[in-house]
């Protein structure tokens, strides 16, 4: 009995800090009514030096089109291992994509930037459509994209 | 439909070539000045450059060069011929997110489109 309690105490003690080091973050992307087909969107993070750290989400499941997400593709070479388990459907014009992810606390206020690359059939590609610094203060503040994104925000 | 047409064209072309050779062999008189079809064909073959025909399916060409289709469109298209040779990624929910240091170990990604 004592050993069970001890084990429980140890596992709880080990688990709690890890839970505290991550939080649920909702990324909300609303597209303009640009009058075209669904947009492919790559959401990824760079560090303070501008180096690619990793991807958060890919909207659009056909790897043959990833070359149109130019900045993301340059950093990853289109490697699906970067987006396995975080890939969904492309997003239609005027629609809102809402993704809730369990993200590491260390991402905020440490100089990281979240980028969105966008591409639409028959229309111009838009690398770095959105670039927003990840800070606790910036949460909830909408940012406008260059071409296809009407607003982007993250909430904690 | 295209396959059928291709087979018809191919079989017709083969028949015509074989027929022409056969006709030429039978009809050309010995010692005549006229050259046989086979001789003309051989000569022409040496002069003609080799041209490779494309096997692309023209019906899908416009679609293939475009990104941004909604999922569900063109479901019959092959999904594993990415420009870089990569396969398509595993969709959300089917495997865990990548271990890139950005994700915690908690709830899996949740997505909603309005």
B99 part of contact set with chain A, CB < 8 Å: no
For chain A, what is the mean pLDDT? 89
Mean pLDDT of B87-94: 94
pLDDT, tens digit (0-9, with 9 covering 90-100), for A94-122: 999 999 999 999 999 999 999 999 999 99
Residue at B28 is within a domain: yes
Structurally, chain A folds into a number of domains equal to: 1
Would you tell me how many other CB atoms lie within 10 Å of the CB of residue B38? 14
- Per the structure, the complete domain to which residue A82 belongs is given by 22-155
- Contact between A116 and A145 (Cβ < 8 Å): yes
* Separation between Cα atoms, residue B66 and residue B54, nearest integer Å: 20
Assess whether pLDDT exceeds 70 at residue A4. no
Is the separation of the CB atoms in A95 and A67 below 8 Å?
no
Domain assignment present for residue B16? The answer is yes
CB B88 within 8 Å of CB B82 = yes
Domain membership flag for residue A16 = no
Q: What is the ipTM of this complex?
A: 0.81
Does the residue A103 lie in any domain? yes
What local confidence, expressed as pLDDT, does residue A146 receive? 96
B112 touches chain A (CB under 8 A): yes
Any domain includes B26: yes
pLDDT value for B97: 93
Residues of chain A with C-beta less than 8 angstroms from the C-beta of B70: 37-38, 89-90, 92
List, for residues A22-44, the tens digit of each pLDDT value: 889 999 999 999 999 999 999 99
- Could you tell me which of B91, B63, B68 has the C-alpha nearest to residue B78? B63
pLDDT 10s digits, B51-89: 434 433 333 333 345 444 444 444 344 444 555 567 999
Chain A residues with CB-CB distance to B110 below 8 A? 99-100
């Amino acid at each position: 009995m004592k050993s069970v309690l001890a084990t429980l105490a140890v596992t709880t003690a080990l688990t709690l800090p890890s839970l505290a080091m991550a939080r649920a973050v909702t990324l909300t992307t609303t597209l303009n009514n640009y009058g075209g087909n669904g947009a492919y969107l790559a959401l990824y993070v760079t560090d303070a030096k501008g180096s690619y750290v990793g991807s958060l989400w890919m909207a659009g499941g056909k790897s043959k089109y990833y070359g149109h997400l130019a900045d993301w593709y340059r950093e990853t070479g289109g490697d699906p291992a970067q987006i396995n388990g975080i890939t969904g459907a492309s997003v239609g014009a005027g629609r809102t994509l809402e993704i809730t992810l369990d993200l590491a606390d260390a991402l905020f206020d440490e100089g990281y930037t979240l980028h969105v690359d966008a591409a639409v059939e028959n229309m111009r590609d838009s690398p770095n459509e959105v670039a927003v610094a990840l800070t606790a203060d910036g949460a909830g503040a909408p940012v406008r994209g260059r071409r296809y994104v009407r607003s982007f925000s993250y909430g904690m | 439909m295209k396959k059928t047409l291709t087979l018809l064209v191919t079989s017709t072309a083969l028949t015509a070539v074989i027929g022409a050779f056969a006709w030429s062999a039978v009809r050309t008189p010995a010692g005549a000045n006229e050259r046989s079809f086979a001789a003309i064909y051989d000569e022409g073959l040496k002069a003609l450059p080799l041209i490779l025909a494309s096997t692309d399916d023209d019906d899908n060409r416009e679609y293939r060069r475009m990104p941004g289709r909604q999922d569900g469109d063109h479901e019959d298209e092959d999904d594993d011929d990415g420009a870089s040779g990569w396969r398509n990624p595993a969709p959300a929910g089917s495997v865990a997110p990548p271990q890139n240091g950005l994700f915690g170990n908690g709830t899996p990604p949740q997505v909603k489109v309005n």
